């Protein structure tokens, strides 16, 4: 049952991609490996998080959010600032009959103002550097909630910088593992919301990326 939904989602993505560029991946086999399987690599980290809602930030074509929603059964919000993408996401969610999934169009900082501390899990795939993801996730997460980052190559510098901001952002590293995926390598780095940030979050919209901490 789950497999059928995962495959149907990929079919819809490949179909939508013919008219709107929502993913670089265009073939079935590539999509199964680099979208579907890749999305599920982080499932163990998602399942370790407290019960509650998941938000996938910068959701794009719905990866990893839709496969994680299908497999975990969590109430899931797919957030993206690009209206063209969220319109496609909303139609895919409807087509798949996923009643545990909703779509949000807007900036992550605005979502954090509207739904502060509401989420048990934040997922982000290939979106931004770790420190920026921590800053985005901190105001969205409940205490003990988890940020699950899907990363490719993480330099020591990027990781050290993120770790140096743990206290300021109220986030603590809980796990870091690498998985081979075909010829590629996927790294899943997970943080816990462990305290109150020392700065007011979210900062003004756009600041996290324009002027990283």
Which residues does the annotation place in the binding site for S-adenosyl-L-methionine? 58, 63, 108-109, 125
Alpha carbon distance 194, 181 (integer Å): 31
Alpha carbon distance 138, 130 (integer Å): 12
2-17 vs 83-96: helix crossing angle, rounded to 10: 140
Do you know the residue count of the chain?
A: 213
Alpha carbon distance 152, 58 (integer Å): 16
Known binding-site residues equal 58, 63, 108-109, 125
As a dihedral over the C-alpha atoms of residue 73, residue 151, residue 121, residue 16, rounded to 10 degrees, the angle is -50
**Which two tokens mark 10?**
């990929």
């Amino acid at each position: 049952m789950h497999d059928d939904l995962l495959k149907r989602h990929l079919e819809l993505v490949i179909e939508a991609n013919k008219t709107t560029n929502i993913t670089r991946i265009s073939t079935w086999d590539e999509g199964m490996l680099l979208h579907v399987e890749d999305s599920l690599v982080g499932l163990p980290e998602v399942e370790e998080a407290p019960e509650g809602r998941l938000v996938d930030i910068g959701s794009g074509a719905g990866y990893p959010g839709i496969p994680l929603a299908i497999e975990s059964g969590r109430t899931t919000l797919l957030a993206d600032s690009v209206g063209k993408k969220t319109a496609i996401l909303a139609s895919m969610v409807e087509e798949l009959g996923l009643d545990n999934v909703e779509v949000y169009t807007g900036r992550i900082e605005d979502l954090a103002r509207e739904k502060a501390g509401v989420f048990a899990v934040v997922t982000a795939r290939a979106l931004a550097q770790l420190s920026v993801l921590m800053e985005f996730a901190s105001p969205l997460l409940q205490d003990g909630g988890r940020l699950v980052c899907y990363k490719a190559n993480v330099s020591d510098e990027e990781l050290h910088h993120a770790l140096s901001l743990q206290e300021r952002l109220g986030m603590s590293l809980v796990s870091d593992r690498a998985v081979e995926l075909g010829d590629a390598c996927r790294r899943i780095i997970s943080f816990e919301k462990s305290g109150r940030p020392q700065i007011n979050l979210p900062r003004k919209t756009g600041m996290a990326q324009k002027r990283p901490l």
